[in-house]
Each structure stands twice: as C-alpha cells, then as structure tokens.
Structure 1
Amino acid sequence: MRKKILACLFSVPFSLSSLYASDAPRHYIMDETVVTATLTQTPLKNIPAAVEVIDSEEIEKSGAMTLHQVLTEAQSVNLEAVSGRQSTARLRGLSSNNTLVMIDGMRLPSGFQDKIDLSEIPAGWIERIEIVRGPASALYGSDAIGGVINVITRKPSEETEAWFSSRYGSNTEGEAEETSFDAGVSGRSGDVGYVITGSFGDKDRVDLDTSDGSTDTDDKNVKAGAATISWNVGEQTELSIGATYADVERQGLRFKNKKEQEWLNGSERYTGRIELRSDLGEDSSILLRAYRSVYDWGVTLTPTGNGAPEVHSVEQTTDQFEARWSGVLPGGHKVTTGIEYRTEDRAEDGLASEVENLGVFLQDEVAVTDRLSAILGLRFDDHSGFGSVCSPRVSAAYRVSDEMRIRGSYAEGFRAPSVFELYTGSEYTRKRILLPNPDLDPETSRTWEVGADFEHDWLALSVTAFRNDIDDMISEVFTGNYDGTIPINEARNISEAMTRGIELSGRVSLGSGFSIHDELTVLDGENKITGTGLPYLPEFSNVFKLAYHDPVQGFGGNVRVVTAGRQYTDAEASVKTDAYTLVNLSLSKSLTSRAEIYGGVDNLFDERVEDGYGNVYGPGSTGTFLYAGIGLNL
C-alpha cells in the first residue's frame, strides 16, 4: 500500500493526509506515523512535507527484487545509470550525490565511483520506504539538498508472527530468470522483543547482442538478512541493538581495452547499531545512538583469452554517534534538537583517507494562529575537509478551509565534498581518470517552494512548484590525456546550476472499488555557466494508475502506465535519449486470511529503455517480464 501526502516541509499539523492501498481506493488512516520528515514518530496528518510512503505489501506485489526497482514509480525520483552498471536515485532533478539514502535513519557509505548502488539493496529488508522530497539539510546536514530516501526495516511485533513469500519471474525470451525467497519471525517474550528476516534472490543475465563482447545485464545473486532485539529496561526506556547485512555477487562480460573480459563483482554491506530511547515525561523524549555502516566492494576483470586479471577494491566505513531531544515548551513550541559526530574512512585500491563532521541542529514548530502555522529550523556543521556551514529553513502553512490549504517554504542546504572527491579519486574505468582535489568547497543551495492541497470526499488534488539554485557545484574538468587517449579529469568547484519544476498529483474514487491515481512531474534545469541543460533530467515523468479492489472477494488489480520524457546523458548537453512508456499489470487474490497469490506483467509491450535512465536489471532492460508469487502469514 502506498501512502502519500503533499505539504510544506517542517510546518505544523494542517496536513491533508491520505492513504491508499496499491490495489484499493484511497482511504484515511490518520494514526499512521512516519519518522523521516521530523525525526520523531509523527502522524501523517501532522506532517506538512512532500512525503511518499511505500510499504512491504506493495513491494511484494510489484515483484521488485531491489530498492531501485521499487523506486521506478515514485514521484520526482529519477534513476541514473553510472559506471559499473550501478543505479542511483536523483530527487527533483538534482544529482544522486544530493540525495541522502539511509537505512533506519542511518547514512549509507558510498562505494564504487562514490555512488550508492540501489540495485544492491534487497527488497526483502524493507518494511516501508519514506521519501521526503525537497531540502532537508536543516535536519540531516550534508547530501540532503534534493531530499531523503529512508529505508525502514521491520521492528519487533507485540504478538508472535512469522511470514514467508516466494516469487518467480522471467522475460518472454526465457532470459532474466529470477527466483526469490523472503522469510522472517517477530514477537516478544516479556520485556524482550525480536525480529529476524532473511532473503535470497537469484537473477540470470540478458544478452541481446552476443557479438559486442558485453552482456546487457549480469547474473546476480543476493543474500541478505536483518535482525533487531529490543529490551524494555523500564516502563519508559527501551534499549535495542540491530544489524543488516547484504552480500551481492554479479558476473557478466565487459569489452574493455579492446578485449572481451569476464567481469566478476562482489560487494558486502553491513550496518550495526545500538540505541537507547527514553520518555522523560508526557511531552519529552531522548534518543542516544551509535552505529557503524561498512561497504566493501571489489571487481576482477579477466580477459577471456590470455592476459593478467585487473583487480580493484573499495572499502568505506561510516561511524556516527548522536544524541537527540524532543519536547514541548511553554507557548506551544514543539522543539527537536540534537548533536551528531561522524567519521568517514575510505580505502580505494590501497589509498586511504578520512574526514570528520560535527553537526548541531534545532527545530521549532509553532502554531501562530488557529489557521497559520510555521517552523524555524537551523543546523550548524563543522567539516574537517572544508570548514563550517549553516543550513536554515523557514516554512508556513495557512488553512483556507477544512478542504484546502496553501503553503510555502525557503531553505538552504549543502553537500560536503566526499572523501572520494577530496583525496582518492579514481583510476581508469574505461572512460577517464579522475584526480581528487583537497581544496574543494561544499556545494550550497537555495530552494523556494509553494503549493496547495485540496481534498474532499472522492477527490484529492495537490500542486507544488519549486526552484533549486546550486552554487559551487562540484564537477569534473578535463585537464589532459593519459597515453594520448584516456581523458584525465579533476574535481573542481566551477558550476552553478538551477533546477525547477512542478509536481501535480490527483486521486479520483470512481466507486464500486475502482479508483484513478496520477502523478506528473515537469522538470527543467540549466548549467548557469554554459547555458546548457543538465544531464539525467527528464523533461517530464508521469505515473498513471487505474486500480480495483474488492475486499469481500479478496481480489485486486491495477494497470500502471509509467512514462519518462527525453533527457540529456552527457555534461555537454549534446546527446538526448528517447522518451519511453512502460505498461505494467498486477493482480492479487487472497486465498485465506493468511495466504495470498499475486502475479503480473511488467513492460507489457516490450519497450526497450535506453541505459541512461538507470533501469538496470529492470523490465526496461530485460523486455517484457512475467512474474508470480505467494505470500503466507504463519
């Protein structure tokens, strides 16, 4: 089930919340809570932010195997293909480096080419995904200029429960064969709660042209698990420890150095945490947390004929310690404040470096009148690589009537240069050598946003207009050639950029179990130095869904039409991809209260999507894909 709410980031409780099941008309569940937009468990009705929530039920029925496949239908999320056949996410047209990706509120370290590959994060981990669109540096600091994608894993349940699901799929040519299994158990014994999940997935390669020395997709194997144990120390205090682990192996062919080469890639991602939560009173609570997140990546390229193998490796570790307090002060001020200390260590092909960051933030939500609410937010960060920066935010929402409100906000954000950009750089990867630059300054941003929401009975409409201005954008600059042919680039602060857009969404309940949903995003961007367009910025994207749900018979289904406009795929804005439209079908049937079967067809008309859209391993790269599965609650 997908829940959506459009509103103004960090204002106070006048949100026109709504929630709808993936195969059902939208209905209202006002007690549903999210954490990413405010750093506290907050009902959707009290969160005036552009937030989208995708839960495990919708993920299961979609047949998605990884996080990047789940995000292909999220509003204002554009996937970008990068070196190494990775898939990264861009929010509102900004670079993937300006999108903060977290698991349970904890940052993920980047890997090859300084990217977080979403195709390596298994769907079996996920209880739900919370996507906050728009700048969030006032709470999260660096990397959140475009927004935040927070993957939330399962938590211990009050009653003992177990589950199992399995799905199988293949394209119409018999390639891309996929098998996956997910299982878990959760419950509580006295003061101790627990949840343990595990998943396995295996997907075969696709090779449309066997003569070009490179497979179109790779054989892929994913083994993953997550666990949390909690202990009620007292009536108001909980201590918990948790971990997630994923092991991914991929194998295929690459054409490099004028040779066909066997490509073998392996990666491990691990996150471990310990945290203490305590209610100090009716309106006051604290959180203390420490965590470590490690990403270990390696690749071996071996010529299929004679020749020595080429080996590369990356390991990055993030350690963070944080303390947070939230409470209500006299005068109706809801205050959240905290302090964070983080270190990031990166070793790439034997070259190691480290950066440190100290952050302090304060957020105050206040009701100015019965109809007008506002919020002030400010964060200070001190970074060992470049110095200090402040990130303010102010927003307001005015309730015109019970059905309508208007909203607006202004925020500033930043992205700190990474260890990769400051100190390590990258060797030749087929395209170029990238030299690091220890004198880089942070990217900074200014964002304006206005919008309105209307909701009454069977109709809901939302519109948001935004503009992002980025200064000191970190770009690669050509400095010469190696061996006369291989470009040598250096990371420099040279670019100023602008992105702007309009987000429209609507829902119409047609009755008799039918509903229509549509989300349209129109984007525009410019490199303000050269006057050219920006890469990986689709002119528009749209997701249309016609859904049906019969709760009595336990039957549901939907037709989804996913469209993306043309976009540039190079920094010079000289090469444009073609637009595409994918038509996806999904059906589900409850056999009992504890068993359900589902199936579907992705890319019904066998559309071929160009690599620039980042649809790695998805139906756009594999062709028409059929799948079926079963879910059991034991």
Structure 2
Amino acid sequence: MVGGERRNDALEDVDLLRLLDVEVSTATKTLETLDDAPAIMTAITAEEIQRWGYTSVGEVLEHVVGFYLIDDHILPNAGVQGMTGGLGAESGGIKVMINGRSAAFRTTSGNWLGTELIPLSAIKQIEIVRGPASALYGADAFLGVVNIITLDPEDIPFVDGTVQVGVTKDHPRGRFDIVGGMFTDRFEMMLTAAGELDDRSGLEMPNQSPAPLIPPYNAGRLDAQNLERMSGVVGARLGYRHPERGHHLVLSAYWSGLRRGGDFAQWAQLTGGTDDEGNRAGTVISLQQRRVAVDGLYQLNRELAFAVQGMYFQGGVLPDDRIDVAGGWYYIERRMAYRGVDASVEARWMPWDRFNLILNLESVYDKEDMPSFRRVTKETKQSFGSPEREQQSAELVDVGALLSANLKVLDPWLKVTGGLRYDHHSKYGNQLTGRFGATSHLGKTVVAKLLYGSAFKAPSPYLLFAEPLVPGDVIGNARLSPQLIHTVDAELTWRPAVWASASTGVSYSLLNDKAEFVPRGINQTALNIASQKSLIWATRAELRHGDAFGGYGSFETVHSTRDSGQVGYQADLVGSSMVAYPSWIARAGAYVKLPSPSSVPLELSTQGILVGPRQSAEASTLEAGGAFELPTYLKWNASLVARNLWIIPGHETTLAVRAKNILGTFGPDPGFSGFEYPLAPREIFFELRHRY
C-alpha cells in the first residue's frame, strides 16, 4: 500500500487499522476507530509528532506504552512487553513498515528508527500494535508491528520544510526534513527528503561496565571521541487513482543510508582518535538500503476488490565502513549485501456490511551475500593474513497464505475476528500462526477487548551465518530453530467524554526457542534459549481540550522470567529473572496554550519518562561475577512553539525552541557485550518550519 486512507472509499489502500480489522466496504463506509480495532494499539498522528517535537520514529516508540528502547548510539534496540532481542538485534523483534511494506535491513532483520527511516514531514500517522501479528504479516511481525502511513494525496503540500539547528553535548547539530508535490483528482506526485548531522562525542562509558575492551592507545579514557552521526533518506511517489471506481496504481521508491561513529560498538570500545603511531583510528558503521515498490488495486464491484503489490529491495555496507579492534594496529573491512523481491496478491470480499473476508498470497525471495571481511593495516592500508575467502550466498524463500475474517455478531455489542496464516520457509519448513479475538462496546463509554495471537520469527541471516571478526565476537549458528510466541491480551477502555479517556490491560506472552547471541566460551554464539514468560499490566489516561490544554499519563509494570536451558554454575549465576528490560516505566506529558500579548499563539509542551531498575544482561553478569541492577532514571523534554506566523503572506511559518534530556540524565542503559551504554545527551535546538 502506498498513501493513506481515503475516508470515502473503504477499499482504498489498507493501513494497519484497516488490515487488522480487514475492513472492506462500500464507497461510503468510513474507517473503524481505535476502539473497534481488534488489537492493542496506539496511533500517533502528525499533529502529535509536531506537538511533542519528535525527530524520529525511535523517539515516538520511546514514549509508547509497552515499548523500551536501548540506544547503543548506532542502531536502537526496541524491546516489547518485557522481551528484548539481545546483542545486535537492532529492533528486529518488531516489524516496521511504510504503508504496509517492510523497511527492514534484511541481513540482520533489524530496523532503522532514526532520520534515515523516513522524513517525518511525509507521515500522516504511525500505527503501533503490541503483540504478535504473524497471522497477518508473516515472519518478523513478532513482538509488535509499527506501520507508518504516509500523506493522503489531498494532504500533499506544494512545499513543507523544517530546519533544526542546535547543540548536542557541546557539538553543533543540524537536521532538515522536506516534503513537496502536487495532486489532481486522478494523479499524485510526492518527493521527500531528510538528513541529520549530529555528534555525541564526549559521552562517558558508565562506571557500571564490568569488562570494556579498550585499545592501549586510549587506556585510562572514559569519554568517547567518535560518536558522529549522519543520516539521510530520499523518497518519491507517483500514482494514478480513479476517483469513481476506486482503482489505483502507485509507484514508490526510497533510498536511505547512515554513518555512525562506533565508540560503543560491540567489537571494541572507545577506539576513536589516533593510535600511538598517529594513524586515524575508530570504528565507523556505514550502511545503505533502497526499495522500489508498485501497488495496484482493482475494484471489481461494490463487494469484491483485488490488490497486487510488489517490492524490490537491496542493501549492504558502504565503502567507508570499518571495524576497529582493541589491538590497535589494524582495522577490518566488512562485506555483506542482500537483494530480493516481496510480492503479494490479495482478494477482499464484503458480501454484507457485517461480514468481510480477506485472502492473501505472498512470496518473499531474499538472496544474502554472507558476511566476509579482510584485515587492513592502518599504516600501509594493505590487507594481510589469510586470503579473503570467496564470498558465499544463501537464498531464503518464504511463501505464505492468509485467510482472515471479521463478523459483527451483534453490533456494537460483539464483534469477532479471526485469521490463520500458513508459511512455508525454505529453511524452516511449515509454520502455522493464528489470531482470534472479540471486541465489545459495553454501553456508550466502555470498550472491552479479548485477543489471542501467535507468531514465528525466522532467525536472521546474521544469527545464522555471522563470522567472528575478532576473538570474543559473535558466531552464527545455521542450526537455529525459529522462535515462536503466543500472547493473550485483555483491555478495557473508558471514554466518559470526548475530552477524556482511560485504558487498562494485561498481556501474557510465552516465547519458545528464543534465538539470540549468548556468551559461550570466549565468544557469543547464536543459540535457542529455552523459553521466556512475560506478564505486563499497563494503564493510560488522557485529557484533551482541543488546542487549549491537554495531557496524558501512563504506567506499566512487567514481570518476566526465562529458562535459559543451561545447567551448573553459569545457570545459577545468570538466574531466571528478566534482563535488560525495566521492571516498570512511568510516562507523562502535558501541553498548554499560553496567553500572548500578540496574535501569535504560543504553546508550551513537556514530556517525561521515568524508567525503573533493569537487571544487567548475561554478558555483563558473567563478567561481573553476578547480576547487578542499573538505577532508575528520569528523562525530561520540553518545547515552546509559536504557530501561525505569517512572515510571508498566505504561507504559514512555525518557530520552536526544543530541549531533550534537559536534566542531562546519564543513565546508564544495559549493554550486551560486557559494558553498559550512556543515555543520549542533552540537546537544545531551534526549529523553523515553513509551509507553502
């Protein structure tokens, strides 16, 4: 799907709200609300992105109930409901999509959540589901789904640009974000781009780190010298739509890339600067990916529609990627790449307004150039050691079929939903996942949901085929089994008035054959640990009086245990407690329109997140000789925004002053390689947005 929903055509592009509901209807049917959607989900609108000053999808998820992000200053690692992915997971436990199409970096199954993912100005809303959704999306829709819906054709501005200039940790920072285009009743065009330049150098390694690997030329240092960050993304969309029949054909394309200084990389830490011979030193992570997609919909009649989707994807490392090691006199050049095709055909049938059915057939082909590397001396830039082995490839194919239906048994008292998906994976054989649930409006103010879902996740090529770059690095395991999860959710939502709402719910998850890198000997080896159980209670309340004032508060607590399948001393040392994920998280935010002597409206907004204690991850526990807790911390953001400035007549300008982590909270956050991460530093920046 490309583009957003049109409310006058229920068979238009399928956003996540609709696909979870399988809502297909006549041209006068409107979208279902969050209350009616059979899922535990959150929708973040473009208005909220602007209000809270989010600069990335990762920042959005940080403030969503049920999510917790560990920032290693390269690619964030998102955990959901007490479960994290471990070393190198890169938020691979969730499925991130743009208009229903996966945006993952396929080699690691990871997701980029920064500026490099998508320009925020192109977003209509972000729809977030907690819990498994493989019954709809196949593998990787494991712990949750994040679907980014781009602007509707009628919402595309001629030009809408944002520029941010400020300071991060005493270093200048800058960011731009722009979208523009045009539309008619039949044609649309949208171009969008974003870029970011930032530097977090100067952050110190937390003193809780039991065993960092620091090269001799930086012995005794605690501060990072190489945390430069560059991100960029360019996107385009061209489409044709038939306004009367609902047909459409849309072509879209994205290129994105990132470059990160790696002073907190897993191979060695604090490698930046110069070595004893005066050579440039430091790890640099440099990656790119691109996608080209075509989406078509044909409305046969008022009851039946057919959709066809296809996407080509490609990605890998860039030439300036380099891994520095603690030895200090050489670095490593990596080679890895992937390319493939994701295609599907779908039939949507709605014989009457209380029942609808969807049938989807999908196939994914992924060709992976398995990771290889060569060692290069810093002084001569010549490779040495064993000749680079011939790069080998692996072909992974998944073919899936989905059947899903909704039935309003007694509207609005009872709506039931159900679906089954069958996948045949070239490496893991047959997989069957399902989802079942019921939603009910208990009177005019209360909505109840009871849901079950299952999912599987095929181990990423990185988990399967990783080669250790240095002693102590990761080792892949081609014998891994797929991970399986079962989740039961129950939620009550109360809306006593249009300006007030509250919800509370519990979720229980059982994860089997969890796959991650775990310490074994001197290396971290990809293994299936036995199981993990997680129980989360989450509640949220919100008040809103238009643009005048509003606020929200949320609290969640998690109890999770795991069975690592180990025996003996190491099992006793690590224990069965949840690691890395907080035992509780509290969030709150508020905004108010300030009185102004001029006609310019001013808005003050603030957000805070209080994160409870986290137990050290397995690698740190083993290095320290016992588990330890990382302390509670508070992060606080604030913004002052002046809207409706008509500097150029007829064109709106917005000015803002924003601050992130005002208190300069240090953290730390748990690491997975024998050291812990500092939190992102304080940022203060000015923002100018202009719309034509």
Taking structure 1 as the reference length, the TM-score comes to 0.85
Aligned CA distance change for structure 1 residues 283 and 366 (closer, same or farther; 3 Å) = same
Does the CA contact (< 8 Å) of 2:473 and 2:523 recur in 1?
Answer: yes
What's the CA shift for 1:516? 2.7
2:312 corresponds to: 292
What's the CA shift for 1:233? 6.2
Q: Distance in 1 between matches of 2:594 and 2:302?
A: 41
1:588 corresponds to: 641
With 86-95 and 373-382 compared, the bigger mean Cα shift is at 86-95
What's the CA shift for 1:253? 4.8
What's the CA shift for 1:477? 5.3
Does the CA contact (< 8 Å) of 1:434 and 1:490 recur in 2?
Answer: yes
One-letter amino acid of the structure 2 residue matched with residue 442 of structure 1: P
Aligned CA distance change for structure 1 residues 429 and 603 (closer, same or farther; 3 Å) = farther
What's the CA shift for 1:462? 0.4
Alignment of 1:398 with 2:440, yes or no, is: yes
With 442-451 and 67-76 compared, the bigger mean Cα shift is at 67-76
Alignment of 1:579 with 2:574, yes or no, is: no
What's the CA shift for 1:463? 0.6
Aligned CA distance change for structure 1 residues 39 and 92 (closer, same or farther; 3 Å) = farther
- For residue 520 of structure 1, the aligned residue among 552, 555, 562 is 555
What's the CA shift for 1:454? 0.7
- For residue 511 of structure 2, the aligned residue among 452, 470, 480 is 470
1:174 corresponds to: 170
With 453-462 and 48-57 compared, the bigger mean Cα shift is at 48-57
2:119 corresponds to: 124
Superposed counterparts of 1:303-342, under 5 Å: 307-330=329-352, 332-342=354-364
Alignment of 1:628 with 2:628, yes or no, is: no
Q: Distance in 1 between matches of 2:544 and 2:156?
A: 35
With 251-260 and 525-534 compared, the bigger mean Cα shift is at 251-260
Alignment of 1:191 with 2:235, yes or no, is: no
1:495 corresponds to: 530
Q: Distance in 2 between matches of 1:547 and 1:103?
A: 29
Stretches of structure 1 that go unaligned for 5 or more consecutive residues are 1-31, 481-486
What's the CA shift for 1:600? 1.7
- For residue 140 of structure 1, the aligned residue among 137, 142, 145 is 137
What's the CA shift for 1:195? 0.3
Counterpart secondary structure, 1:109: coil
Does the CA contact (< 8 Å) of 1:354 and 1:419 recur in 2?
Answer: no
Alignment of 1:447 with 2:444, yes or no, is: no
Alignment of 1:107 with 2:160, yes or no, is: no
Q: Distance in 2 between matches of 1:539 and 1:278?
A: 49
Alignment of 1:561 with 2:608, yes or no, is: yes
Superposed counterparts of 1:195-594, under 5 Å: 195-208=190-203, 212=221, 215=224, 218-232=227-241, 235-236=244-245, 237-251=247-261, 253=263, 256=268, 261-298=281-318, 299-301=321-323, 307-330=329-352, 332-347=354-369, 348-349=371-372, 350-370=391-411, 371-422=413-464, 424-428=465-469, 431-437=472-478, 439-457=479-497, 458-476=499-517, 478-480=519-521, 487-509=522-544, 513-529=548-564, 532-549=576-593, 554-571=601-618, 574-590=627-643, 591-592=645-646, 594=652
Aligned CA distance change for structure 1 residues 575 and 313 (closer, same or farther; 3 Å) = farther
Q: Distance in 2 between matches of 1:331 and 1:182?
A: 41
Q: Distance in 2 between matches of 1:473 and 1:122?
A: 27
Counterpart secondary structure, 1:406: strand
Counterpart secondary structure, 1:339: strand
Q: Distance in 1 between matches of 2:529 and 2:241?
A: 53
Superposed counterparts of 1:73-84, under 5 Å: 73-81=63-71
Counterpart secondary structure, 1:179: strand
Aligned Cα RMSD in Å? Answer: 3.1
Does the CA contact (< 8 Å) of 1:64 and 1:123 recur in 2?
Answer: no
Corresponding residue pairs, total: 588
One-letter amino acid of the structure 1 residue matched with residue 234 of structure 2: G
One-letter amino acid of the structure 1 residue matched with residue 354 of structure 2: G
Aligned CA distance change for structure 1 residues 81 and 558 (closer, same or farther; 3 Å) = closer
Counterpart secondary structure, 2:119: helix
Aligned CA distance change for structure 1 residues 91 and 217 (closer, same or farther; 3 Å) = farther
Q: Distance in 2 between matches of 1:164 and 1:364?
A: 42
What's the CA shift for 1:631? 1.0
Aligned CA distance change for structure 1 residues 475 and 454 (closer, same or farther; 3 Å) = same
Between structures 1 and 2, the one with greater strand share = 1
CA deviation map 1:443-500 (0-9, x unaligned): 11221111211101143110110100011222445554xxxxxx23443333111111
One-letter amino acid of the structure 1 residue matched with residue 20 of structure 2: A
Q: Distance in 1 between matches of 2:137 and 2:663?
A: 42
Does the CA contact (< 8 Å) of 2:203 and 2:681 recur in 1?
Answer: no
CA deviation map 1:112-161 (0-9, x unaligned): 75533423634525503211112211111212231101233345337762
Alignment of 1:88 with 2:88, yes or no, is: no
Aligned CA distance change for structure 1 residues 283 and 571 (closer, same or farther; 3 Å) = farther
Counterpart secondary structure, 1:44: coil
What's the CA shift for 1:65? 3.8
One-letter amino acid of the structure 2 residue matched with residue 232 of structure 1: R
Aligned CA distance change for structure 1 residues 89 and 478 (closer, same or farther; 3 Å) = closer
Counterpart secondary structure, 2:136: helix
What's the CA shift for 1:284? 2.9
Stretches of structure 2 that go unaligned for 5 or more consecutive residues are 1-14, 25-30, 85-90, 205-217, 276-280, 373-390, 565-570, 622-626
Does the CA contact (< 8 Å) of 2:128 and 2:146 recur in 1?
Answer: yes
Does the CA contact (< 8 Å) of 1:409 and 1:449 recur in 2?
Answer: yes
Aligned CA distance change for structure 1 residues 402 and 62 (closer, same or farther; 3 Å) = closer
1:98 corresponds to: 93
Q: Distance in 1 between matches of 2:323 and 2:671?
A: 25
Q: Distance in 2 between matches of 1:257 and 1:207?
A: 13
Aligned CA distance change for structure 1 residues 157 and 405 (closer, same or farther; 3 Å) = closer
Q: Distance in 2 between matches of 1:94 and 1:303?
A: 30
Aligned CA distance change for structure 1 residues 213 and 303 (closer, same or farther; 3 Å) = farther
Aligned CA distance change for structure 1 residues 351 and 80 (closer, same or farther; 3 Å) = farther
Aligned CA distance change for structure 1 residues 112 and 344 (closer, same or farther; 3 Å) = closer
One-letter amino acid of the structure 2 residue matched with residue 556 of structure 1: E
What's the CA shift for 1:397? 1.9
2:208 corresponds to: none
2:567 corresponds to: none
Does the CA contact (< 8 Å) of 2:160 and 2:690 recur in 1?
Answer: yes
Q: Distance in 2 between matches of 1:216 and 1:199?
A: 26
What's the CA shift for 1:206? 1.9
Does the CA contact (< 8 Å) of 1:463 and 1:503 recur in 2?
Answer: yes
